[in-house]
Structure 1
Amino acid sequence: MDNPEKEIAGVLSLVTSGIKPEMQKESIQRYYTKDVPYRHPFFAVLRSANSRPTLVGLFQWFRIVLPKYRVDVERVTYDEDKNELFLDSRCVALLPWSSLSLERTVLVHMKLRAETSPDGDPDKVLHYIAEQEDFLRPDDVIALFAPPLVPLALLVLHFATFMCVLGTFFVNLAQPWVVRASDGLEDTSRHIAEEGRRVIEEGRHPVHNSRRLLNGLAQQVERTWDQAAEKEKNVHVDGSGGRRSENKPPSGVAGDPGGTAYAEAAREAMGEMQEKGVNAI
């Protein structure tokens, strides 16, 4: 592909909805690398020196099982730096064993590889699909093979959600959870500060005076963690004026109630961001 962002919709249509086996095979050989791996909720093609023929057989089996099938690409996101594609697509299939017509959303992730054109022109570079993974929701997968079981699948998903919420309720009754510095809270807060500045630079925030507000909150989070880092050095001045080290528990861990002040300050900063309508993440 010369322009992956513009061409990928047509390519995906050729490899998934080809009207003849030869056309489908030729399209896969043209646009996919020889060692391409493929992941699907029910299938997997492992990367090998010549895994492409396996992918051809799998895609042709899809056409045998679902002869009336098409993929409509609704949105394409191309990460040029990483040479990756993300496709929001809608699959429409008429199941041969029933009169049902299914429409399901599929997220397709493709990693591309830039290679010299096979026509021998060293200045011409083409992009080939070097890896593909399809993401479907559990109920959509079940709908392809057993449509009557879709309500049961949705019931299981809602029940799992209810159990998680119920578990959270009882855990908070016993003892509210607190993320400690040793659990990676420092990295999280620094990420919050960086994200706030990135939002400002991209100009995506609608709140008036958001530049000054987010900068101030980001600096507050950073100051909080700088203070925490000093505490966790476990060094203090003794009565004689000299410095000595103590084996005290790090700030923010169990057994040091006063050491959680910096974690509280970080949470207050995030609360202030939410109250003012700032969504930095």
Structure 2
Amino acid sequence: MQNPVSEVGTVVSLLTAAASPEIQKAAFRKYFTSDAGFRHPICHVTPGPGSRDRILAIFQWYRIMSPQLKISTNSVVHDPANNTLILDIVQEFHIRLSPFKPAPSRLLVRLTLREENALQYIAFQEDFYHPDDFMSLLVPPLAPVIRTGLSVASSASAIYARIGQLLGFWTTSGLHETNHAGLYDKSE
């Protein structure tokens, strides 16, 4: 890529939602280094010789599982100091023969780039999902169950924190009087 920030949305579409396996394979050869790595919640490819082909096989299986895939890149953040891109992506992944309607699923993708011959190539891809978004990919009706479980865990944390504070752990007594380095207003 000559300009990764403006080109990466198109690259993502070619890698994940290509119209044919030939287009997808050509995109992998064009945009990934031959020794690229990949990390996802359910699979991992260590960077090394031939690793790009193993990553391609994962993406091919992804397309076989979901022939009707919609994907959009909402935003891209470039960190030039670390030569990385962070992408905010929403996808609708519909598993072949699944009786469930696909649900939008959000993920963050971190791409580590490597410059070769004045172009930027993907050297490592990491995919990050919230548990409920990941469930939206697999069994969309269970995503609300996961969200409920996360809410229950949050409520339990608040209860446990209060109990711990009553027992004298991690208390906030005296916070307003000392104004810890000017972080809090005395009127709070």
- TM score, norm. by length of structure 2: 0.89
1:131 aligns with 2:124: yes
**Secondary structure class of the residue paired with 2:183:** helix
1:174 aligns with 2:155: no
Distance (whole Å) between structure 2 residues aligned to residue 131 and residue 72 of structure 1: 20
Structure 1 residue 272, shift from structure 2 partner: 2.8
Match in the other structure for 1:110: 111
Distance 1:150 1:93, change over 3 A: same
Distance (whole Å) between structure 1 residues aligned to residue 149 and residue 100 of structure 2: 26
- 5+ residue gaps, structure 1, are 117-124, 180-260, 276-281
Which structure carries more helix by proportion? 1
Match in the other structure for 2:51: 51
Distance (whole Å) between structure 2 residues aligned to residue 24 and residue 100 of structure 1: 25
Counterpart of 2:58, as a letter, is L
Structure 1 residue 92, shift from structure 2 partner: 2.1
**Secondary structure class of the residue paired with 1:271:** coil
Q: Write out per-residue CA displacement over residues 110-143 of structure 1, whole angstroms, 9 at most, x where no aligned residue.
A: 1100111xxxxxxxx0000011111111011112
- 5+ residue gaps, structure 2, are none
Distance (whole Å) between structure 1 residues aligned to residue 58 and residue 120 of structure 2: 22
Distance 1:274 1:80, change over 3 A: farther
Counterpart of 1:109, as a letter, is R
Match in the other structure for 2:69: 69
Q: Write out per-residue CA displacement over residues 54-91 of structure 1, whole angstroms, 9 at most, x where no aligned residue.
A: 00100000000000002111111111222110111111
Identity %: 33
Distance (whole Å) between structure 1 residues aligned to residue 179 and residue 62 of structure 2: 51
Aligned length: 184
Structure 1 residue 151, shift from structure 2 partner: 2.6
Match in the other structure for 2:33: 33
Instruction: Select the structure of larger CA radius of gyration.
Output: 1
Distance (whole Å) between structure 2 residues aligned to residue 2 and residue 131 of structure 1: 18
**Secondary structure class of the residue paired with 2:110:** strand
Which structure carries more strand by proportion? 2
Match in the other structure for 1:119: none
**Secondary structure class of the residue paired with 1:272:** coil
Structure 1 residue 36, shift from structure 2 partner: 1.0
Counterpart of 1:43, as a letter, is C
Alignment of 1:1-281 (within 5 A): 1-96=1-96, 97-116=98-117, 125-177=118-170, 265=178, 267=180, 269-272=182-185
Alpha carbon RMSD of aligned pairs, Å?
2.2
Match in the other structure for 1:196: none
- TM score, norm. by length of structure 1: 0.61
Q: Write out per-residue CA displacement over residues 239-268 of structure 1, whole angstroms, 9 at most, x where no aligned residue.
A: xxxxxxxxxxxxxxxxxxxxxx9xx74626
| Off by >6 Å, runs of 4+ in structure 1 | none
Distance 1:273 1:128, change over 3 A: farther
